[in-house]
């Protein structure tokens, strides 16, 4: 019966270290307590995560990866930011950036810790191993460029390796897709004049940087997959950044 199947699925998952579509569907509910907590305490991160999930799911469908895993992984990839939400720029609304008062070496620790904190939260909420892997791998061992460049201005002997995330690099197609979507979604928020050709150039630059830095070396992605992922990201990014009509009732605000 259906009830027997529902009862057996968790045992099967635990025994064989796999995550069923049934479990992923349950986790895709935005009413999940951890996602609700993210929405209230780190609304900027929550919004970013929704965008990453949508982009990642679309790309996964195009290359026949696990689209549902990408959607759920996108929702949960940044839950570690709940520990110190105001230290992440997307949550800093009308407040000074606290990193302005910190040494780059301290900022680096806070930034890197959102991976460790995310893994701890994921385990606390019994998220499946595939989601934990995505949390661990979504930055790979990439450079925290902003803080690295800030540190270099203070001391030009600082090693780039001191400002890298702990890794590991993405090891699956799904983790790689989320890694790319995460970087592009964050970068586009600070893109000046996000017209189509500039958005396309940004996507190209992020992909090039990830490839040059070896962040995709441990994944089974082919070059054809990479081109397909680029083209899958573009329509959504164009849609959320298109120029909207101004309305007479708000013209004094929108025309400034």
pTM of the model: 0.89
> How many independent structural domains does the chain possess?
1
- Provide the Cα torsion 181, 187, 188, 193; round to 10°: -160
Residue 198 lies in a domain: yes
Residue 155 lies in a domain: yes
Give residue 115's pLDDT band: very low, low, confident or very high (50, 70, 90). Answer: very high
Q: What is the DSSP letter of 64?
A: T
Residue scoring higher pLDDT (15 or 53): 53
Residue 8 lies in a domain: no
Residue 18 lies in a domain: no
CATH value at residue 81: 1.10.3210
Residue 20 lies in a domain: no
pLDDT of res. 3? 43
CA dist., res. 191 & res. 186, Å (int): 9
How large is the average pLDDT for residues 198-224? 98
Q: What is the DSSP letter of 165?
A: -
Model pLDDT for residues 52-83, shown as the tens digit of each residue: 999 999 999 999 999 999 999 999 999 999 99
pLDDT above 60 for 245? no
Place of tokens 């992440």: 88
pLDDT of res. 246? 55
pLDDT above 50 for 46? yes
How big is the chain, counted in residues?
A: 256
Residue 6 lies in a domain: no
Return the minimum-mean-pLDDT range out of 12-16, 80-84, 176-180, 182-186: 12-16
- Is omega for the bond preceding 139 within 30 degrees of 0, making it cis? no
Phi, psi dihedral angles at 189 (to 5 degrees): -65, -25
pLDDT above 70 for 167? yes
Mean pLDDT of the chain: 91
Residue 153 lies in a domain: yes
pLDDT above 80 for 16? no
pLDDT above 80 for 154? yes
The Cβ of residue 130 has, within 10 Å, a number of other Cβ atoms equal to 19
How large is the average pLDDT for residues 209-227? 98
What does the block give as tokens for 30? 């935005």
pLDDT of res. 242? 75
Residue 14 lies in a domain: no
CA dist., res. 51 & res. 72, Å (int): 12
How large is the average pLDDT for residues 174-195? 97
Burial of 230 (0-12, 13-18, 19+ CB in 10 A): middle
The beta strands (E) that lie in 29-186 are given as none
Containing domain of residue 116, as a range?
31-242
pLDDT above 80 for 247? no
Nearest to 182 by CA among 6, 86, 45, 26: 45
């Amino acid at each position: 019966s259906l009830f027997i199947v529902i009862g057996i699925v968790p045992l099967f998952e635990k025994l064989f270290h796999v995550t069923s579509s049934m479990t992923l569907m349950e986790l895709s509910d935005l009413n999940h307590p951890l996602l609700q907590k993210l929405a209230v305490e780190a609304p900027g991160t929550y919004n970013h995560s929704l965008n990453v999930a949508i982009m990642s799911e679309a790309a996964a469908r195009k290359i026949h990866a696990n689209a549902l895993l990408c959607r759920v992984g996108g929702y949960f990839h940044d839950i570690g930011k709940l520990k110190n939400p105001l230290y992440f720029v997307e949550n800093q609304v009308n407040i000074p950036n606290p990193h302005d008062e910190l040494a780059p070496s301290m900022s680096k620790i806070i930034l890197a810790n959102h991976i460790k904190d995310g893994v701890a939260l994921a385990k606390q909420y019994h998220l499946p191993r595939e989601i934990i892997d995505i949390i661990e791998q979504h930055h790979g061992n990439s450079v925290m460029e902003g803080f690295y460049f800030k540190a270099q201005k203070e001391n030009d002997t600082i090693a780039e390796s001191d400002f890298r995330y702990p890794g590991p690099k993405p090891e699956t197609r799904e983790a790689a897709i989320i890694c790319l979507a995460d970087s592009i979604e964050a970068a586009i928020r600070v893109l000046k004049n996000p017209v189509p050709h500039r958005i396309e150039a940004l996507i190209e630059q992020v992909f090039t940087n990830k490839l040059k830095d070896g962040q995709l070396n441990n994944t089974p992605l082919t070059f054809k997959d990479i081109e397909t992922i680029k083209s899958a990201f573009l329509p959504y990014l164009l849609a959320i950044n298109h120029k909207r009509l101004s309305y007479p009732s708000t013209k004094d605000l929108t025309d400034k």
